[in-house]
Amino acid sequence: MTNIAEVQFMIILTLGFLTKSCICSGENCCFNSSRIDSYLEYEPHPSSSKNLHHLFQMIREGTFAMYDYGVWKNLMHYKQRKPPAFDVSSIPSSLPIWMGYGGNDALADVADVQRTIKELVSKPELLYLENYGHIDFLLSTRGKEDVYDSMLAFFGSLGKTSSY
C-alpha cells in the first residue's frame, strides 16, 4: 500500500519534472519549459502503485533488490526473509549494453551507475553527459545530437538481424 509520504513524493516528482531543476531528479540543462502545457497532457504517466512502492523501497533501503512483500510473503516468494538483490553480474557478457547517464541526474547518479558498471560482466558502451539531468535524456532540446545519434550508432553497429 502506498503511504502518504510516497503520494506526496509522486506529486513533487511530477511537479519537479516540469521545472528546470528538481530536487528529486536533478537539474536539467536542456529542458524546453515552453512545452510544459504539452507535457501536462501526458504526465504524470500511469504506473502501478506497486511499481512506485518498489522504487521507494530501493531508495529508502539504498538497495537494488526485488520487491519487499514483508517477512511472511518474502518467505513465500523468495524463501528468505528479505528480498534478494538483483544480480547484475548474471547478465550475459554476449548481451550488448548501451548506457547513458548524466552528471546532474539525482535518480541515476554517477556513483550508482559506476557501481552497476563494475558489477557487469561485460563492458557497456557509455555516454556520459556532465550537464544532463534525468529528464534531459528524454526531453532535451539537444537530445538527437547529444543522446540519440550515439544510441542509434551503437545499435546500428550490431548488424541487421531480425527476430521475425
- The residue length of the chain stands at 164
The answer to whether residues 126 and 117 touch, using CB atoms and an 8 Å cutoff, is yes
Query: Model pTM?
Result: 0.74
pLDDT at 3 over 60: no
Which residues, 6+ apart, have CB-to-CB distance to 123 below 8 Å? 117
Name the nearest CA neighbour of 25 among 39, 37, 15.
Answer: 15
Average pLDDT, the chain: 83
The pLDDT of residue 37: 76
Check residues 19 and 117 and name the one with the higher pLDDT: 117
Tens digit of each residue's pLDDT (9 = 90 or more) over 24-47: 566 778 877 777 777 767 766 666
E-state strands within 65-145:
98-102, 125-129
Check residues 34 and 109 and name the one with the higher pLDDT: 109
Q: Which amino acid is at 156?
A: G
